[in-house]
Structure 1
């Protein structure tokens, strides 16, 4: 089977960050878009990818310098003469010499050119990694955001159930005082309320985990993350349409 000599893939969203963020804005939730924008600026993984690009470019510049001839030179100044009286004196003289050499290691030129091409490819790889990191980051922020919204919906459901159970307990307490409800039924009802309260507490703790995860992805400003989450829509974001082309 013949293997292709060249593999080509376009950059995600044409390599434009604005297009990347705009793609996620199809969810019609401005808080999600804002979180992705903050993450693209503040996330340390993007900074690491940028540092790798700079390192690769520096290597390329260094290797490319070996593609050009080296130029070297030297010079000297020599003086002669003696002192003494007029009859024995030797007149002083000065001799100036210099040389300029240009060298080009023809044997090594081919190797240097290959190293230069390899360094150029590494730059392209690091740039692709940078774009890939941004796409992955946007997807990860969205994933945690969706899970947070789903978590909060369960939080609301558990809170509503607990409020209903507490209303029932109050009615049972009145009925128990009047002799219409047994104390054992009231005790079971109270146990159910305690269980629901525990479930609600655990659910809210899980929601806080998603907040912490979003904070980590967006650079560590938790008050900002909580503010954006509070301004967002309560329902789970759903894109109107998804284009995979």
Structure 2
């Protein structure tokens, strides 16, 4: 009989497969072969550590510190650990559950009348001691794959958590780079403002001397003084911005505000992107962007949840086993040849649930449809982000080239004015005014270059770069 039952059970398990839809990957989406606004047709793959292309050692150090110690990442890592633990728990649910128990009981039994009726006399009260040691095990057979679907869902949820951590790393590296670029640009603007103030002050002094000699008007002096005060008024907001960017960097690396002030006080050139930037193709973008990978893993988890809901509508077969030894004396616990054994299969089936099981399936299917829609939105959004970033970056390069030509013309004008001053055909005020225009052209070029580097950072974020697979125990 035992052999027949084992053969029947093996055949049943082999015949039954997991109910619900099998997940075959992300739904097909229409993807162009190349970006419409791509400016580099190089097939080279972009760099994961894209900030290294800016060639700034201080920036490399700050990004590394942020990825290691930023206060924005621990919560995301905690969600990842929770997903790994949930997967372990789900897989453990498929194994038998074994427990042990020990029991001691003392009972006092009342006296019983002798001969029945209400006649007097009877036995004296008695007591009973009971000692027992037991082991029990229960195991639910995964007939219709509900537990397997649960494990699939937990595995997909773990993949989504990993992708969400990668997405947080992408955003963090871009935030650090953008704050650093803004800091260096603000420091450069402060240096240029100081140079402009020095020249405007000198021009004002010379004009005041001319006004005292009758060769300049009070209007000229008032106009120059107004320009000087306007330039001075710009300094305080720039200093506040510089401090704010320094504090932002300190926060991103997990340090107290003001901690990086001394480290970043020395003014260094603004980091500029490389001459050529490889952007890859849309197909590689969809595989690389963490937010798309997270959306796809959520879709896989929701698909597996349909199988879980379907399996709950079918019969559930479980086995219960118990082994116990004991008796009325402690010595009975050592009589291993005298034990109690119970083995009981149990079949449960809520066949009359008035549509609750069907409703759960429909709800799971709706969740899957929602996840699929969100995945398609994520794909289209990623392609849009990349195209917009490519357009802004390419147009900004044109703006930088225009500002560089204007700066070159201002440099040439200032050089010619100095030559005229040495030849005696121009005065000092004219030369200082030419230098002021030179500084203004340099400020415009600085703003364009800072915008170019900022657009480069945005492009790398849109391409889904700046993350790495974190080491750790995997389930």
The answer, yes or no, to whether TM exceeds 0.5 is yes
Are residue 63 (structure 1) and residue 90 (structure 2) matched?
Answer: yes
Aligned equivalent of 2:249: 214
Aligned CA distance change for structure 1 residues 224 and 28 (closer, same or farther; 3 Å): farther
Deviations 1:65-114 (A, max 9, x none): 211112245566799xxxxxxxxxxxxxx987665443212268832332
**C-alpha separation between the residues in 2 aligned to 1:76 and 1:169?**
101
**C-alpha separation between the residues in 2 aligned to 1:232 and 1:186?**
34
Comparing 27-36 with 38-47, which one deviates more in the overlay? Answer: 38-47
Deviations 1:17-76 (A, max 9, x none): xx854x422211101111111111221221111111111112222222211112245566
Task: Identify the match of residue 129 of structure 1 among 164, 167, 173.
Answer: 164
Aligned equivalent of 1:40: 67
User: Contact conserved, 2:247 with 2:258, CA < 8 A, in 1?
Assistant: no
Task: Identify the match of residue 180 of structure 1 among 215, 220, 234.
Answer: 215
Aligned equivalent of 2:240: 205
Aligned CA distance change for structure 1 residues 78 and 51 (closer, same or farther; 3 Å): closer
Aligned equivalent of 1:24: 51
Q: 1:165: how far off?
A: 0.6
Aligned CA distance change for structure 1 residues 135 and 107 (closer, same or farther; 3 Å): closer
**C-alpha separation between the residues in 1 aligned to 2:105 and 2:190?**
93
User: Is the partner of 1:63 in helix, strand or coil?
Assistant: helix
Aligned equivalent of 1:113: 148
How large is the RMSD of aligned CA atoms in angstroms?
3.1
User: Contact conserved, 2:55 with 2:271, CA < 8 A, in 1?
Assistant: no
Q: TM-score, normalised by structure 1?
A: 0.74
The gaps in structure 2 that reach 5 residues or longer are 1-22, 27-46, 107-128, 281-475
User: Which structure has more helix as a fraction of its residues?
Assistant: 1
Task: Identify the match of residue 152 of structure 1 among 177, 187, 196.
Answer: 187
Which protein shows a greater Rg?
2
User: Is the partner of 2:73 in helix, strand or coil?
Assistant: helix
The gaps in structure 1 that reach 5 residues or longer are 8-18, 80-93
Aligned equivalent of 2:201: 166
Aligned equivalent of 1:5: 24
Aligned equivalent of 2:78: 51
User: Is the partner of 1:103 in helix, strand or coil?
Assistant: strand
Comparing 217-226 with 133-142, which one deviates more in the overlay? Answer: 217-226
**C-alpha separation between the residues in 2 aligned to 1:122 and 1:221?**
35
Aligned CA distance change for structure 1 residues 71 and 108 (closer, same or farther; 3 Å): farther
Aligned CA distance change for structure 1 residues 173 and 57 (closer, same or farther; 3 Å): same
Q: TM-score, normalised by structure 2?
A: 0.41
Aligned CA distance change for structure 1 residues 38 and 96 (closer, same or farther; 3 Å): closer
Deviations 1:124-146 (A, max 9, x none): 21112112211221112112222
The aligned length equals: 218
Aligned CA distance change for structure 1 residues 171 and 114 (closer, same or farther; 3 Å): same
Aligned CA distance change for structure 1 residues 26 and 224 (closer, same or farther; 3 Å): farther
User: Is the partner of 1:67 in helix, strand or coil?
Assistant: coil
Deviations 1:192-215 (A, max 9, x none): 211111123223333333223222
